Homo-oligomer: A and B are copies of this chain.
Amino acid sequence: MTHSVAILGASGYTGAELVRLIATHPALRIAALTADRKAGQAMADVFPHLRHLDLPRLTTVEEVDFAALDLVFCALPHGLSQALVRDLPRDLRVVDLGADFRLRDPAAYEKWYGLPHAAPELQPEAVYGLTEFYREEIRAARLVAGTGCNAATVQLALRPLIEAGLIDLDDIVCDLKNGISGAGRGLKENMLFAERSEDVAGYGQGGRHRHLGEFDQEFSALAGREVRILFTPHLVPVNRGILASCHLKGDALAIHAALEARYAAEPFVIVLPYGQLPAMGHVQGSNFCHIGIIGDRVGGRALVVSTLDNLCKGSSGQALQNANLMLGLDETAGLMLAPVFP
Contact = CB atoms under 8 A, between A and B. Distances in A.
A199 B237 CA distance: 9
A206 B337 contact: no
Contact of A294 (B205, B238, B241, B303): B205
B270 A200 contact: no
Interface residues of A, number: 85
B340 A279 contact: no
Given A191-B192, A198-B198, A279-B201, A206 B294 contact: yes
Nearest to A183: B194
Contacts of A247: 173, 175, 230, 232, 247
A9 to B, nearest CB: 16
Interface in A293-342: 294-298, 301, 303, 305, 307, 336-342
A20 interface: yes
A62 interface: no
A63 B181 CA distance: 40
A196 B247 CA distance: 24
A245 interface: yes
B51 A195 contact: no
Contacts of A200: 177, 236, 238, 241, 243, 279-281, 307
Interface string A216-245: 000000000000101010101111110101
Given A200-B280, A279-B200, A206 B296 contact: yes
Number of copies: 4
Given A24-B337, A52-B338, A290-B48, A245 B187 contact: no
Contact of A288 (B52, B177, B201, B281): B52
A336 B24 contact: yes
A78 interface: no
Given A49-B281, A239-B342, A192 B185 contact: yes
A198 B239 contact: yes
A56 interface: no
A254 to B, nearest CB: 16
A16 B341 contact: yes
A19 to B, nearest CB: 7
A180 interface: yes
23 contacts: A19-B338, A20-B339, A20-B340, A48-B278, A49-B341, A51-B270, A51-B290, A53-B338, A173-B247, A181-B194, A193-B195, A198-B240, A198-B284, A200-B243, A201-B278, A201-B279, A201-B280, A208-B297, A230-B296, A240-B340, A240-B342, A247-B247, A340-B340
Interface of A: 13, 16, 19-20, 23-24, 47-53, 171, 173, 175, 177, 180-181, 183, 185, 187-189, 191-202, 205-208, 212, 228, 230, 232, 234, 236-241, 243, 245, 247, 270, 272, 275, 277-286, 288, 290, 294-298, 301, 303, 305, 307, 336-342
| 8 residue pairs, one from A and one from B, having the closest CB atoms | A199-B281, A207-B297, A201-B279, A194-B342, A49-B282, A49-B339, A187-B187, A49-B341
